[in-house]
Structure 1
């Protein structure tokens, strides 16, 4: 048997690792790949009828929580229409893996599989990892952590046979009452949004995943949800160029592979009445493709949304989206009808043959770049373990630790006596919290209190009086809703209780909710120390407990302006 000395083995391992990393690093980006002729793309394009070429531009909805009849109906559409791709929504990873394998076998040209994964697979699937929301990430000062998150999200997507993440969200959320973007944005500072978004998508793309910045030219300053109506963006061209478009311009310059178009009426860019940006050639082809020189995939927002179908029903929206310049038409109300209407438009010469060919080939090139020329199968072996790795869990905790933001306080105000009688209160919940359990380990002489968000007035009064016995109080303000909105749904009595506790000596407050909620809690700024932790996940509750017990220095900075007390960028770093 051949014997090798340790030094030689180590050198060999390092060399092999270097070769592997170099090979990976040398893979050209999707945007770069569009500059070279591709035999596979050319061959597939030539083999397709015009109908099937059009179908490559259509992506339809898939889910694994709607039963077999629904799953089979999607399979029939794939087989009959030979559409280009899928957008998966709610369900479970095991079921999705099996269904994806089944669906890929029905497709003559392999399907591009996508999902909205702004905070990872957990945005749509049970039993998978959820990374922090983008607003939480907006507080982090080390963008390398966000790059690492992008790499891990890419691994999760690819492990589940997906090729495109319909993210990151690169809207500048400068409207605190935005009903649809809000916590999905990195914040209200366009420079921070751009840097965070670029770090995130570069992590994903470097790990082999296609990405899509959304919602161009910027959905952050709207007060209407485009799922239900058409928002109006009434600002000047100069304002849009300098603010809303800034993160997208930076993302394009940094090599993003895709951009998703918002459903918004923007008179400064296209004065056509009631026309959504998704259907506007001056916006998509004129601004995005020509002015900003974007060469990658242009993806429509969901074409079933009321923001686009309200004024353009019966498939008219699909044709207009195609003629405007979208490469991928996502979630048409009726894909069969859309294919027929778009074929008719091509036949009539409403678009040049050259442009039509370029756009179909762009989608095929995305398939090649994603590795679909090899038709890979998803292995069910160890799928759950792979999607819930210790490395992913550790990263979520790291991100949470880096996000905690101290808005008010100092080392002295956070330094509590562990042996003094201490009340640890969680508000807005019905059971004891991770925050309380973590703190209780360090405060042996403590009592835990919980206050429901709609606790009766007499109960609130009794607890408030009871807490007068305690010389130090630690309070967690929690939002248990699935999506953390700008205003807490607390009763007025519970709000008054928060103000009362904040005014007492030696009170520390931690808000596990959307940062904007602080504006609706007058008096909370009087607390001895105040932290914002952005959302109610176990990791952030552990992070806050670490800060209070002195094992973690808070480094986060507020990514949005809450009120006059706490503007964007607020964050106290402790020595």
Structure 2
């Protein structure tokens, strides 16, 4: 049987059309999917005028006078309006006013906000999310944008808000757009759809009505509709393929609301100067009929010049409803608007039936949003409830995912080999050190400078001259405005300052501002690396610094084309290189409130009972620093508060921070073997009683060495005076070793100390006796094996590459005393306050440098070392110690005999004795220090913990810190918080 070919062609064409139609599934907005008895009941009780009033929303402000608030209340009460759109104010003030307004309204009001980037767009003391351009830089991670929508919904419901006029679904393909710009996700229409949908769904899935905007597309205009009527000259094909495209997709996905913009679009409506808001062809013909939208159609604000320039208040409101609008936002003259609508009904331009249908739709939306069970807003803890840690975590994740590297000369970022870098930072357009500088300073020693357009020429010249001493300059460009009308925050000399810094050939420039500002910075391309975080805010500064140092990676790409050099899609990826990341506890699933309260209570109780004057606690989990806090003061009676960057005397923590890492490195290099004897590495011991002592036994404190020797007592006569050839009160070549400002040790006396160690007795029993003596010897062994002085070796091999630059002996050489926490008022030996010098007497007599005591540093720098241990010897892109050697040194060496020691390290007792946190795993290790210091590393829980204090002030006889297990209890607070953790689904 033959079939006509033309008929077959027509059939196939019809099938293709039908198939395409079937694939376009228009989702009915959720609030219309089921009947509402409440809406029907309320509707039936209304008068025709009240039904008109339900379609009107007026503006509200919570930062104005009581007289204004009374007038707003009276307006709502008089006309029985449908809702209020809130603008500037504060959360508690807005909540109070909302409660007043709802109390006088016979039908619960819609409370709406134009809060595209969170409540903080309008209210103080609330959460601000990234601008949509920032989110546009993210590659994937739409789940995070959804979670942002969920979090906004949580806050909105708590504040009594049911509508957010967001997201912006405009495709921003015009760099000169004065109004959309940073409010758009970018110029890729598919990305705009994906990201808008995620934000929209996050809110709608949690019963917040959204209003996608600005239909039919406000992205490609150079005119701000707040001030004039923009004209969009594109033809219908272009509009359908680009401007309208996101709205079509979001309508199909079930958008609950659409906001129509004030635009003149001749391709859609040829009426001269008619805004799209008032256009039946656009609102009804295109949005309702062609796109099939059934939800709420909102006007853009009815006070904008794009509308009022040609249509006065009242008339414009009427024409908006005639065009097909459902809700008029920001009506300026309510009485006139209602009168005009009633007149239109009388004249047949509007029907009461159409008003009724829209009113019923509004009431159904109110019921869906929960207003059918309206309750006043509870003001108690409102601000705290709105500002939850989850919001900060979301902001951190969103910011991190958006960070974009636009240039990375020779893979400079992330920075490696910190020991080769002399780094300065310059914040441009800043009056004081910035968040960017403060965070960068956590990674290594950086000297900070600030410059602004107001800086004197002489100041600028001084900074430029100083920068000659550095081989890397971190430049933060702090643009304090994101709007094109404000030149993106560019001051008169901003570009010149940045250009000169980039021209040094050693600059890494981080721009904290609108991406389009890159076009206003000529010469920026001369920088070695360029990072942008798209907006001026603390999260961008914080995480850009962490990106530069490799704590986080870069994966963002430009969402817009700035110019020929910086085009959409530009972005160079990098990865983390294992440096500490600084964040909040919630990022690892820990409740910050729970952890902080517990740690605070333990530490503050310790200070209250004078277990120690002050201290610093730092904790990390999964390579992320989640807790850093300084407590108390340097002394009980003083006024110097303890600070995070204070240096403490580490005491015996020195053992695992100096001697032990040095030995591990030497083991890796085949220069040291723990199974050999003391005589093997100390030829002078071959004829001593220690010649055959095995280092494994020595390092586990079971070689029979004497616990300690009070070397300083050997210098005293029975009457308390010093013996001849021991000390002098002034420095000289004969007495060069400074013990105090007025006490100097004989130059050869250290030889006598080492001789005493050599000749000290050795017990015949192989049992655990904690001994300092071998740790006096490791500096000599290290020097013999490496040909380097002990401190030089440590700094070159570990501290400087780690960025742990405060770890040092004799810190008075490098730091002012105000940064160094004092220890004891020594009444027996040195007769003075020990401040900036090693507390241990033996260490003091060795010029402050020993393998058992004498290391000073900050908690943060000590943690870099302990984190390296936790990461199996890896940190910052470098393998310092092999995993095998670390595993060997940190395991129980002789568990069969009940020994709790590793090689140099303490480990948990087999029967709890308080030497470790109670919850510590058998894999964990660490050490405590006599001055009140403590650190613990636990691979099982992937944590490291540092506690620094000066419990020996004013006297070592105070041992409450150990009696109460304060350091261990603080560590246990971290374990407990981890066990109770509930990771957030981000």
Summarize the alignment of residues 460-539 of structure 1 with structure 2, pairs less than 5 Å apart.
Answer: 460-481=460-481, 483=483, 487-491=487-491, 493-539=493-539
- Whole-angstrom CA distance in 2 between matches of 1:484 and 1:206: 34
| Stretches of structure 2 lacking an aligned partner (at least 5 in a row) | 1-26, 576-986
Aligned-pair distance for 1:80?
0.4
State the match for 1:273 in structure 2.
272
- Whole-angstrom CA distance in 2 between matches of 1:292 and 1:154: 27
**Are 1:91 and 2:89 counterparts?**
yes
Equivalent residues of 2:428, 2:497 under 8 A apart: no
Aligned-pair distance for 1:196?
0.6
Equivalent residues of 2:313, 2:331 under 8 A apart: no
Summarize the alignment of residues 47-196 of structure 1 with structure 2, pairs less than 5 Å apart.
Answer: 47-141=45-139, 142-196=141-195
Any idea what SS the aligned residue of 1:508 has? strand
Equivalent residues of 2:481, 2:488 under 8 A apart: no
- Whole-angstrom CA distance in 1 between matches of 2:205 and 2:138: 21
- Whole-angstrom CA distance in 1 between matches of 2:210 and 2:291: 18
Summarize the alignment of residues 277-296 of structure 1 with structure 2, pairs less than 5 Å apart.
Answer: 277-296=276-295
Aligned-pair distance for 1:333?
1.6
Equivalent residues of 2:482, 2:535 under 8 A apart: no
Summarize the alignment of residues 224-373 of structure 1 with structure 2, pairs less than 5 Å apart.
Answer: 224-373=223-372
State the match for 1:10 in structure 2.
none
Any idea what SS the aligned residue of 1:102 has? helix
Aligned-pair distance for 1:352?
3.4
- Whole-angstrom CA distance in 1 between matches of 2:72 and 2:340: 21
Equivalent residues of 1:453, 1:490 under 8 A apart: no
- Whole-angstrom CA distance in 2 between matches of 1:165 and 1:490: 31
Any idea what SS the aligned residue of 2:496 has? helix
Distance 1:332 1:247, change over 3 A: same
Moved more, 475-484 or 222-231: 475-484
State the match for 2:436 in structure 1.
435
Deviations 1:366-389 (A, max 9, x none): 111111111222111221111111
Based on CA coordinates, which of the two structures has the bigger radius of gyration? 2
Aligned-pair distance for 1:458?
4.5
- Whole-angstrom CA distance in 2 between matches of 1:55 and 1:370: 19
- Whole-angstrom CA distance in 1 between matches of 2:519 and 2:217: 24
State the match for 2:397 in structure 1.
398
- Whole-angstrom CA distance in 2 between matches of 1:488 and 1:298: 33
- Whole-angstrom CA distance in 1 between matches of 2:92 and 2:460: 45
Moved more, 284-293 or 460-469: 460-469
- Whole-angstrom CA distance in 2 between matches of 1:411 and 1:206: 43
Deviations 1:367-420 (A, max 9, x none): 111111112221112211111111111111111111111111164343254343
Deviations 1:105-157 (A, max 9, x none): 11111101000110110100000010111111111121111000000001011
The structure whose residues are more often helix, as a share, is 1
- Whole-angstrom CA distance in 1 between matches of 2:491 and 2:37: 64
| Stretches of structure 1 lacking an aligned partner (at least 5 in a row) | 1-28
Equivalent residues of 1:138, 1:186 under 8 A apart: yes
Moved more, 477-486 or 536-545: 477-486
Aligned-pair distance for 1:463?
2.5
Moved more, 535-544 or 446-455: 446-455
Deviations 1:202-240 (A, max 9, x none): 011111111010100111111111111111111111111
- Whole-angstrom CA distance in 2 between matches of 1:546 and 1:484: 28
- Whole-angstrom CA distance in 1 between matches of 2:71 and 2:490: 43
- Whole-angstrom CA distance in 2 between matches of 1:147 and 1:288: 25
How high is the TM-score relative to the length of structure 2?
0.54
State the match for 1:217 in structure 2.
216
Distance 1:491 1:351, change over 3 A: closer
Aligned-pair distance for 1:63?
0.7
Aligned-pair distance for 1:492?
5.6
Any idea what SS the aligned residue of 2:123 has? coil
State the match for 1:424 in structure 2.
425
Any idea what SS the aligned residue of 1:66 has? coil
Equivalent residues of 2:53, 2:81 under 8 A apart: yes
More relative contact order, 1 or 2 (CA 8 Å, 6+ apart): 1
- Whole-angstrom CA distance in 2 between matches of 1:406 and 1:559: 13
Deviations 1:273-302 (A, max 9, x none): 111110000000000000000000000001
Distance 1:435 1:311, change over 3 A: same
State the match for 1:16 in structure 2.
none
Aligned-pair distance for 1:423?
1.1
How high is the TM-score relative to the length of structure 1?
0.92
Equivalent residues of 1:464, 1:497 under 8 A apart: no
Moved more, 406-415 or 361-370: 406-415
**Are 1:562 and 2:525 counterparts?**
no
Deviations 1:86-105 (A, max 9, x none): 10001010111111111101
Deviations 1:159-212 (A, max 9, x none): 000000011111111111211111111111111111110000101111111101
Distance 1:383 1:180, change over 3 A: same
Distance 1:493 1:227, change over 3 A: closer
Distance 1:484 1:134, change over 3 A: farther
Equivalent residues of 1:187, 1:193 under 8 A apart: yes
Equivalent residues of 1:284, 1:324 under 8 A apart: yes
- Whole-angstrom CA distance in 1 between matches of 2:416 and 2:506: 8
Aligned-pair distance for 1:441?
1.9
Distance 1:485 1:148, change over 3 A: farther
Distance 1:473 1:294, change over 3 A: same
Moved more, 499-508 or 277-286: 499-508
**Are 1:34 and 2:32 counterparts?**
yes
Deviations 1:490-513 (A, max 9, x none): 456442332232233332111100
Deviations 1:424-470 (A, max 9, x none): 011122221100011112221x2111111343444434423332221
- Whole-angstrom CA distance in 2 between matches of 1:52 and 1:32: 25
- Whole-angstrom CA distance in 2 between matches of 1:248 and 1:156: 26
Equivalent residues of 1:172, 1:185 under 8 A apart: yes
- Whole-angstrom CA distance in 2 between matches of 1:395 and 1:123: 17
Equivalent residues of 1:455, 1:491 under 8 A apart: no
Equivalent residues of 2:77, 2:105 under 8 A apart: yes
Equivalent residues of 2:260, 2:277 under 8 A apart: yes
- Whole-angstrom CA distance in 2 between matches of 1:102 and 1:413: 55
Q: How many residues matched? A: 546
Distance 1:556 1:485, change over 3 A: farther
- Whole-angstrom CA distance in 1 between matches of 2:465 and 2:492: 17
Equivalent residues of 1:485, 1:514 under 8 A apart: no
Any idea what SS the aligned residue of 2:398 has? helix
- Whole-angstrom CA distance in 1 between matches of 2:412 and 2:228: 51
